[in-house]
Structure 1
């Protein structure tokens, strides 16, 4: 039986740029950085060191070269935050592209994109 979600794999064109986005722009922390093959590494980031789930960032080129038959598309991720308005203002002030805040039956949400035009969503915690 599955007990939970450990991590999400995120495959990107520019790993250093992506790690900077998640850490500098969004305030995530680096949990680990492991050399996995030649010059390729995996970088695990999370909202905090004790977060239940993390994002592991891989270079797409590594995945292509090693022949893994993996879908390289960006997963749809929904984050939660207590103060949606503060996060929305912070991301906009940093020049991060954000969609409008929308009210849904489950609460207020908005989306934002990284430097590679991958979109992610944020939901206000209830």
Structure 2
């Protein structure tokens, strides 16, 4: 589970850091970056507690990440395929697809690490 915890922290820091860099100093920072920051925070927190809580919370955090990225990908594909033109929709769609692939891999990996019985306390 160690490598998965490292990947989780790295992806969370990239997600949160990217949103902070994108919206820093703008009045819309809080509403526009809050969802990514909450998911990134959940990912870091579950990676920190995975040693004693197991990989169930880690799987839940990766599920939230996949849901977030899927929502972003669908709206980007809407712009790309039929909506009003967006200048960088192709680049965003490619990046979001890669992000979703990483998230789905991590979600499956975390799910397979869940023991049949929860750890005893």
TM-score class normalised by the smaller sequence: 0.3 to 0.5
In terms of fraction of residues, the more strand-rich structure is: 1
Q: Normalised by the size of structure 2, how large is the TM-score?
A: 0.36
Q: Normalised by the size of structure 1, how large is the TM-score?
A: 0.35
> Looking at both structures, which has the greater relative contact order when contacts are Cα pairs under 8 Å and sequence separation is at least 6?
2
